[in-house]
A = this chain, B = another copy of it.
Amino acid sequence: MNEKSQQLTNRIAVLRAERKMTQKDLAEKAGVSRQTILSLENKKYSPSLVLAFKIAKVLDVAITQVFQYKEESK
């Protein structure tokens, strides 16, 4: 809906499903609320760098494997 949400995409749901983890599982392991994971997957607000690192760590991949950034053409 807004422009900002489209410059950052993530594959959290996919990677999570591959590992057969629920949102709750991932949230607990990352030390955040389930709402936070859900919001990232769906509403896709931009997480903090620390949270991004934590999620990548739990999913056992590089941060860039989870999050892709496309700068917009101004």
Contact = CB atoms under 8 A, between A and B. Distances in A.
Q: How many copies does the complex hold?
A: 2
Interface of A: 4, 7-8, 46-54, 57, 62-64, 67, 69, 71
Nearest to A47: B49
A69 B50 contact: yes
20 contacts: A4-B50, A7-B50, A8-B49, A8-B50, A8-B53, A46-B49, A47-B48, A47-B49, A48-B48, A48-B49, A49-B49, A49-B51, A49-B52, A49-B67, A49-B69, A50-B69, A52-B52, A53-B69, A62-B64, A63-B64
A74 to B, nearest CB: 9
Contact of A63 (B4, B47, B63, B71): B63
